[in-house]
Structure 1
């Protein structure tokens, strides 16, 4: 896949993640605390729910990479964590898991 096609696919996927979080009514108006945002734990799992991490960390960071024309990650393995986190958070799994799997595939 060409770089422009990859970036367009990732951008569409990020839009879908946002739409799905909104559809499930977990899109938040207010960001987590600065302390929560400064977590160094993978997925900020010690300070945020998975949906919060998607909204406040994942989507903005990947969009920033796209906007800056920087290199996308050389690999991703979000889906295994997403499977557990979605269950714990009691989110509707199928669409979110599909989106995470698509992202992982695009980055490999």
Structure 2
């Protein structure tokens, strides 16, 4: 399963770069420290994907840890990506595939 997850993490990065939503600088330390789901109070969903989600999942894989069970990111992604005005279809498909793998 790790290989499939790595492919999906890479696909998220590729898609965010394609849409010029992959940022060169991270959000502030305060923004990164948010305890609100998806850091929705301090950053855009695409930032959360880039700076929180992708690195955390990658760190779990790199350390040989267990991936989370029962991921359900897609419902929030549908709403958040509309607000960000990003092209949703490809990102939602990738996120849906991640959610499915984690079941």
Q: TM-score, normalised by structure 1?
A: 0.95
Answer yes or no: is 1:72 the counterpart of 2:67: yes
Aligned to 2:50: 55
**For residues 53-106 of structure 1, what are the alpha-carbon distances to aligned partners after superposition, in whole Å with 9 as ceiling and x for unaligned?**
000000000000000000000110000000000000000010000011000000
- Once superposed, which parts of structure 1, at least 4 consecutive aligned residues long, lie more than 6 Å away? none
Q: TM-score, normalised by structure 2?
A: 0.99
Aligned to 2:78: 83
CA RMSD of aligned residues (A): 0.3
Tell me, which stretches of 5 or more residues in structure 2 are unaligned? none
Q: CA deviation at 1:23?
A: 0.2
Tell me, which stretches of 5 or more residues in structure 1 are unaligned? 1-5
SS at match of 1:15: helix
Give, in whole Å, the separation in 2 of the partners of 1:48 and 1:90.
15
SS at match of 2:51: helix
Aligned to 1:95: 90
